[in-house]
Structure 1
């Protein structure tokens, strides 16, 4: 029996040493989420400025000749099922998809998990600054745009009336973490895997972009701001080097060259 056909010996996963403690990571991620929610709540109370900034953003988009948000929404409004599906996607995919992404990286690509968690933490922390400095009402609240609050009209909705909604800050539209996190999920999976089809993960942020704009929850510039923040974080925090472990193994086991030569000489 040659070395190539012998049963592979158990070898330690060289990437396992990069995996941080589970309890510590759970507490860290939950803590970051709570800080984010608290920070957004502390940034409430700027209603007049939020609407003033909304008109500025709307006028700037028209000056830049960006596609009109109503063009995307009119496509969704062709059928009740389509617009409800978009509202459901907005309400239910954002957090579960990001959590699933982090869990998968933690289990299968620990080094990429640490990198992705740092990126998401930096982007989320940076996103807390804008609601204080640039509160922004979402386009669904802006009169004269022709946009419909699809969640309120067709459901399901994650928001209540702004005056009584104490669980979220609806005047913190910029940046769109829906888009920023979705884009990071795609980039992280592309970096951590080697499948030829891995670029299809970009469909997730693309679909998210169409949903957040079509449901009138965000402006185009909200997504652009999130992309800029993510780009800055990616420039500062580099991913781990791609290896057979960090980027996924192929269908066959990598056999050291010395063992191949030894088997050929028998």
Structure 2
């Protein structure tokens, strides 16, 4: 993983980007999300049919674990309520926290890391727009329990404040998996403390359990989220390679350092002579 990330995050433009650039990306993301949300009313019937189709496909593949997990964990009220809040909050809190951490502590890889996250999110938005899909919690005829509604969790689906700002049919691919996978990789690779690296590895696994238990996603949604993240890394790898080739071509076009004679027949570059001069000055100061 280390070698792969080194290639993906090959150093390009150094230093932290301007904050206004990052804020502009957030605005662009919100506008695109709003477009997908506004397109939902005309796709509800299609989204429900697709959910039925996904469930049948998972049954044929023997990976339809959602209903069993949903019912088993719903019986443990403190656990499922905690998962409801996990689903609603950590998705944003941890992702923003990791972004800020990279911006402050690892500015040399912040740009490509942020680009991977943006590309993964963009591919998710494309999926939401062209493949509106109802989550399992809407398939009540199959016995699924909408845990946030059943346990009256704050911000439950169906309340006006949530419906007005969220896309209820944005299940495929799962942004929760794409974002938690991104956070996990960043923490595992760049965190100095071992417990943070372990937490990074476990975070996507916990998130997968939560999205299934709360009936917010199918297993195939999680697969879609993993594919979206992988595609984003692949695109960033391509961008890094193209950037490296551009810098390599630029460096070969630069003139070589001018050689100078030292009077004794030895040739050295200007940089070498400057280094020798600095060393001699340091010796003189020490001996003096």
Flag whether TM exceeds 0.5 (same fold): yes
1:233 and 1:109, CA in 2 relative to 1: closer, same or farther beyond 3 A?
same
Q: Indicate the residue corresponding to 1:183 in structure 2.
A: 181
- Counterparts of residues 37-76 of structure 1 (less than 5 Å): 37-44=33-40, 45-76=42-73
Contact 1:43–1:131 (CA under 8 A) maintained in structure 2: no
User: Which of 1 and 2 has higher RCO (CA within 8 Å, sep 6+)?
Assistant: 1
> Which moved further from structure 2: 176-185 or 74-83?
74-83
Give, in whole Å, the separation in 2 of the partners of 1:47 and 1:159. Answer: 15
Unaligned 5+ segments in structure 2 are 1-10, 241-288
> Per-residue deviation at 1:120?
1.1
Considering only aligned residues, what root-mean-square deviation do their CA atoms show, in Å? Answer: 2.5
After superposing the two structures, state which structure 1 stretch, 117-126 or 184-193, moved more: 184-193
The structure 2 residue matched to 1:133, chosen from 119, 130, 134, is 130
Q: Deviations over 1:121-141 (max 9, x none)?
A: 111111122223211111000
Q: CA deviation at 1:64?
A: 0.8
Is the 2:33–2:125 contact (alpha carbons within 8 Å) kept by the matching residues of 1? no
Number of aligned positions between the proteins: 226
Asked whether the equivalents of residues 36 and 124 of structure 1 are also in contact (C-alpha less than 8 Å), the reply is: no
- Any unmatched runs of 5+ in structure 1? 1-13, 241-266
Matched, 1:100 2:97: yes
CA distance in 1, matches of 2:100, 2:34: 24
Q: Distance in 2 between matches of 1:15 and 1:53?
A: 42
TM superposition shift of 1:195? 4.8
* TM-superposition CA deviations, 1:171-219 (whole Å, max 9, x none): 1211110111011000122232355552431211111111111000110
Matched, 1:33 2:29: yes
Partners of 2:121 and 2:35 lie apart in 1 by 10
Q: For 1:158 and 1:178, locate their aligned partners in 2 and report how far apart those are by CA, in whole Å.
A: 17
Structure of larger gyration radius? 2
- Separation in 1, partners of 2:163, 2:75: 30
Normalised by the length of structure 1, the TM-score is 0.77
Cα contact 2:55–2:64 (8 A) shared by 1: no
TM-score when scaled to structure 2?
A: 0.72
Matched residues in 2 for 1:76 and 1:185: separation?
A: 25
Output the CA distance in 2 between the equivalents of 1:89 and 1:235: 29
Contact 1:137 1:173 in 2 (8 A): yes
